[in-house]
Amino acid sequence: MGGRDRWKIENEGFNVQKNGGYELEHPYTSNEPAAKIFYFLLQIAHMIIQLIYKGSLLRAASIQVTSMKMLAFLLLEAWRNAFITENNLELIKMKKIQIRFDTS
């Protein structure tokens, strides 16, 4: 039974990456190492989006997200406008956070 559940989860993840705007099938390059790097970065992006979308960070910030595209735009803007000094980074490291997942 566990194998089937894992298979279902993996297929859902690949389906999202293929059809959910991640452009998994787009032939960005014929260079094999570059294709592997692209896929690795795509996996990281998908993981971050899942953590934010299914976690409690958006509810804590009172941000209403209506689509994954909007979430990606908000993340891009946050990174573009972020200014982190060494002192701020130390404070961030010391702060304890907890992310709760929505299991519904």
Q: DSSP state, 24? A: T
Contact 4, 11 (CB under 8 A): no
Per-residue pLDDT of the chain in tens (104 residues, 90 and over written 9): 566 777 777 777 777 777 777 777 766 667 888 888 888 888 888 888 777 777 766 666 667 777 777 777 887 888 788 787 888 888 888 888 776 776 66
Residue 72: is it exposed, middle or buried by C-beta count within 10 angstroms (0-12/13-18/19+)?
middle
Domain ranges of the chain: 2-94
What are the distances in angstroms from CA 68 to CA 17, 87, 89, 90, 92?
Answer: 12, 32, 28, 31, 26
